Amino acid sequence: MSLHLPDHIRVLERGWLSSNNIVFLDADTADVVDTGYVTHAAETLRLIDEALAGRTLQRIVNTHIHSDHAGGNAQLQARHGCSIWIPHGEADAVATWDETRLSYQVTSQQCPRFAYDGLIHPHDTLHLGGHEWLALPAPGHDHAMVMLWCEAQGILISADALWQKGFGVIFPELAGIPGFAAQKATLDLIAQLQPRLVIPGHGAPFTDVDAALLAAQSRIQWLSDLPQRNSDNALKVLLAFKLLEAQCLSLAELTDMVCTTLQGNPTMRLHYPQAPQATAALVAEQLVRSGVATRQGDALYAAI
């Protein structure tokens, strides 16, 4: 099955921890959307070099500043001298490198500091790979996130607003900021656009957009019916991420992470009134059951 991705767009599909990197090729220059997680930066540099085939990387565009989307920014800029453009909603947090607002503190994730050169406002037009791409606000997973839409080609870069199966954690809700309705509206916007092809932040590009939207719409309803489900999913995803980064974590380290996450997320805290050790043990069990981890004594090992 051909997805009809134009030659000037290379999607570097990455595994766990890193977002996809989407390289746009012009005659002599190139741009990249999103740069993966810092522990994969060497691989990101190598893959992007390969895709560039001698062209100059002139710009990084970030859909949002989560650590798995912006973790390669600093190293790519150091190597290529390219500029970095970010959504305008992240400008202050990036300028002051406020790790709490940027989520790195609460998620126990890392992202090397960088400075931005340009801001993306809603409905700005970006020129990527010889085409015009419209920046569209995509609140829900992250209220500052943008998607990129190329009407002429019918292609949407959906970031973490829509994957083939689901979408990213609705992070604002964990901190008591409404996010479910915004995510619903973002999905409605995607439905209106009727893209023929979606390049998601994670996973392969896909064309069965209606099916993905239907599943996502039913999922957001399911989450907003019982917000504890969003918290449960967030905790599982965050601990899995950390385990895959560290490869091995003790139950005590998992418990520390649970404490840090709950401390920074007041709504989430209400969902786990029990001792943090008990919450950590519960999530550890879920990770083992779902095949993400194996357990030996008090240690959890990454299994994927």
Based on the shown chain and the rule CB under 5 A, indicate whether residue 66 belongs to the binding site for Zn ion.
yes
- We find the least distance from the C-beta atom of residue 69 to Zn ion, in angstroms, to be 6
- We find the least distance from the C-beta atom of residue 61 to Zn ion, in angstroms, to be 15
Cβ nearer to Zn ion, comparing 87 with 168: 168
Cβ nearer to Zn ion, comparing 18 with 224: 18
Per CB under 5 A, the segment of 74-82, 100-108, 158-166, 279-287 that binds Zn ion is 158-166
Q: State the alpha helices, DSSP H only, in 71-208.
A: 73-80, 91-95, 104-107, 171-174, 180-193
Question: What gap in Å lies between CA 78 and CA 238, rounded to an integer?
Answer: 29
Based on the shown chain and the rule CB under 5 A, indicate whether residue 14 belongs to the binding site for Zn ion.
no
Among residues 6, 8, 36, 31, the alpha carbon closest in space to that of 21 is found at 36
Among residues 54, 254, 282, 265, the alpha carbon closest in space to that of 174 is found at 265
The helix (run of H) or strand (run of E) holding residue 60 is strand 56-61
Based on the shown chain and the rule CB under 5 A, indicate whether residue 271 belongs to the binding site for Zn ion.
no
Q: Are 226 and 271 in contact (CB under 8 A)?
A: no
Per CB under 5 A, the segment of 163-171, 182-190, 220-228, 249-257 that binds Zn ion is 163-171
Based on the shown chain and the rule CB under 5 A, indicate whether residue 202 belongs to the binding site for Zn ion.
no
> What secondary structure letter does DSSP report for 1?
-
Based on the shown chain and the rule CB under 5 A, indicate whether residue 168 belongs to the binding site for Zn ion.
yes
Among residues 233, 253, 235, 135, the alpha carbon closest in space to that of 180 is found at 233
Rg, C-alpha atoms of the chain: 19
Give the residue, chosen from 160, 173, 232, 245, that forms a contact with Zn ion under the rule CB under 5 A.
160
Q: Are 150 and 132 in contact (CB under 8 A)?
A: yes
- We find the least distance from the C-beta atom of residue 5 to Zn ion, in angstroms, to be 22
Cβ nearer to Zn ion, comparing 168 with 276: 168
Per CB under 5 A, the segment of 33-41, 58-66, 274-282, 296-304 that binds Zn ion is 58-66
Question: What gap in Å lies between CA 86 and CA 65, rounded to an integer?
Answer: 8
Question: How many chain residues touch Zn ion (CB under 5 A)?
Answer: 3
Per CB under 5 A, the segment of 98-106, 159-167, 188-196, 232-240 that binds Zn ion is 159-167
Based on the shown chain and the rule CB under 5 A, indicate whether residue 143 belongs to the binding site for Zn ion.
no
Based on the shown chain and the rule CB under 5 A, indicate whether residue 90 belongs to the binding site for Zn ion.
no
Per CB under 5 A, the segment of 26-34, 120-128, 156-164, 266-274 that binds Zn ion is 156-164
- Distances, alpha carbon 29 to alpha carbons 8, 73, 97, 196, in Å: 11, 17, 29, 27
Q: Give the interface with Zn ion as residue ranges (CB under 5 A).
A: 66, 160, 168
